[in-house]
Amino acid sequence: MALLLDRRGDEITINEEVVKAAATCGQDHVLDFLSQQTVRIEEEWRCIAQFYNAAKAGDVQVIEELIRKGVKPDVKNIRRETPLWIAARLGHKTVVKLLAERRDVNVNSRSVSGRSPLFWPASRGNEPVVAALMDAGADPTFVDCNGNTAIYMARKNGHERIAEMLEGWNDETEAMTKA
């Protein structure tokens, strides 16, 4: 970024979207660099970067502290992934449980590829994370950009028990709909 701004800085505008992209990707060093380039970086963006990094690291204490400070826990990055989505993909059960139980977090939020937070843990056989998401109301029937569901991916990768858990959700939903 330094080289780009050095060579073509007069042609580049650093706006709120650039700052948001850096923050929601956890790029503290980019925010620091931009602030040295006379771009004003609000404390909110630094907190969001810390929140994303805590979700990546599975750091519940930092997440709880930032929520107490007022950080919105469901901010999406440029790929429309939320901190819950990232924690679920990386298998951080405690963070997933903490975030999934909050009313201000959408457990069915989908990325640009159409994948919900349930997709990767189901695909990788992470039963505790799948269970935490299912307990919070995650929907296993979303179809991603490749035509795959969490159920299909669990079964394809040999995680039959998880596939059955997810199909059980479908059975429960159909029974409630017919009642």
pLDDT digits (tens, 9 = 90+) for 95-143: 999 999 999 999 999 999 999 999 999 999 999 999 999 999 999 999 9
Q: Are 38 and 58 in contact (CB under 8 A)?
A: no
Report d(CA 93, CA 115) in Å as an integer.
18
Q: List Cα–Cα distances, 81 to 49, 114, 138, 160, in angstroms.
A: 13, 10, 15, 27
Instruction: Kindly report the number of other CB atoms within 10 A of residue 174's CB atom.
Output: 10
Task: Spell out the domains of the chain, with CATH numbers in brackets.
Answer: 1-72 (no CATH), 82-179 (1.25.40.20)
Is the pLDDT at 144 greater than 50, yes or no?
Answer: yes
Query: Model's pTM, two decimal places?
Result: 0.82
pLDDT value of position 17:
74
Question: Of the spans 41-55, 82-96, 158-172, which averages the highest pLDDT?
Answer: 82-96
pLDDT value of position 171:
56
pLDDT value of position 36:
74
Q: Are 9 and 34 in contact (CB under 8 A)?
A: no
